[in-house]
Structure 1
Amino acid sequence: MEPGILIKTERVKRGWSQAELGKRVKISQVAIKKIEAGETRTSKYMPKIAQELGIPLSKLDSSLSQGPVNQGSDVDLTRPKQALQVIPGEQLMGDVDLPVYSIVRGGRGALVLENEPFTYTTRPKRLAGKKDSYGVLVIGDSMAREYNENDIAYVDPRLHPKKGDPCVFQGTREDGTVEAIIKYLDRSPDASETVYHVSQTNPEKHFTIKKSDWQKVHVAVGKESGR
């Protein structure tokens, strides 16, 4: 079903007018009309529309679709992922100087990386001396079993990401907001491609995200359990 038709169907089910949906999403009735008519195919408000109507974002935004993965020679969906291992206390060292940022839910349903650290923690040995490394306190359960809500993922931005790595993807939007997600790389990055092939564990699925939307890819090298 076309995104516009799906949006209209779910809106009507709830007895909402275009103006009511627009009010909830904070855009005009005319903008909703154009989206439903298919005149507007992409919009930064799609995540919020999906959230309000209970529609999976992948059905509205093709850049986050779960379409078939190109199963070329570099793709092995059965290959074990590099799970984020809990780093034991004896491997933590030095001063409490590793900045930890929080990923929070933004106003339009996106996951936003805060621009200031909310705390500092002791860095693991493998990040000793790497001043640009950092930690991320995550929310949500899309990668449950590998990390859970309130775990801190340790990130080394100097590592070259490869197939199987858990990675923090960052994208800076037009208003300066930095959005972030954590997913597995299903195949090593190829400079000739315009997308990353990624996956998650809960629910398990494989999909693509646009490189133009996610300009930075940093490798997560371990975690501190929040439990």
Structure 2
Amino acid sequence: MNKRERIIAAIEHAVANGVKKREIADFCRVSRTAVTQWSKGDVEELKYSNLRSLAQVAGISEKWLAEGKGHMVDGTREPPNVYGINQNVEPAPAMHGAVPVISWVQAGAWSEVCVVDLDPEETEWLPRPPGASDDTFALRVAGESMAPRYNPGTLIYVDPAVQPEGGDDVVAVLTDTNEATFKRFVQEPGGDKLLMALNPDWPRRYLEINGNCSIVGVVIADMNLRRR
């Protein structure tokens, strides 16, 4: 099989096991149209993160889907049930790889920082969220500008491979100071773009984007750790 044929087989395998195409799209963080195009268009440029997510939701071998090596189902996998149909609990999707928890200084220069340059002994690592790209990193929220949605200490996962859309929470770099900031991306009618603090009492709640900042990545997940 070529890659397109393997993708078609993976989708059919997932559907045969009760996973709807819209659920495949949601799990892979793409549109339903994109899933349809995977079986029709050029798949050579398809992101590896999409192949990984498709393999996870279909319950098949990631290596087989991406490279055609081995078997589609390795004999140890259960049929996919990532949405917990007819159950009152949902199995968590499988996580592969890890992301570094970096400082806000490192976030400001992330485009120039390589993961392999991080000291593995000094760096804290967390499981990578399903569907996240290899460049994803984590930050601990500092300050109150995004409270109460994100309180200080909350871990946010930032994916530079995701294109920001209006309403996304993003990490951006102010070019005049090279400092990273965490805000909501707002695109007003007419094309005006803003960064907005969620805290209504924040002194400078809105920051116009007029060439004075660049967006590092979009927040795709967040986590609060319980401390006793």
Q: Which of the five TM-score ranges fits, normalised by the shorter chain? A: 0.3 to 0.5
Q: Higher strand fraction: Structure 1 or Structure 2?
A: 1
Normalised by the length of structure 1, the TM-score is 0.45
Normalised by the length of structure 2, the TM-score is 0.45
Higher relative contact order (CA 8 A, sep 6+): 1
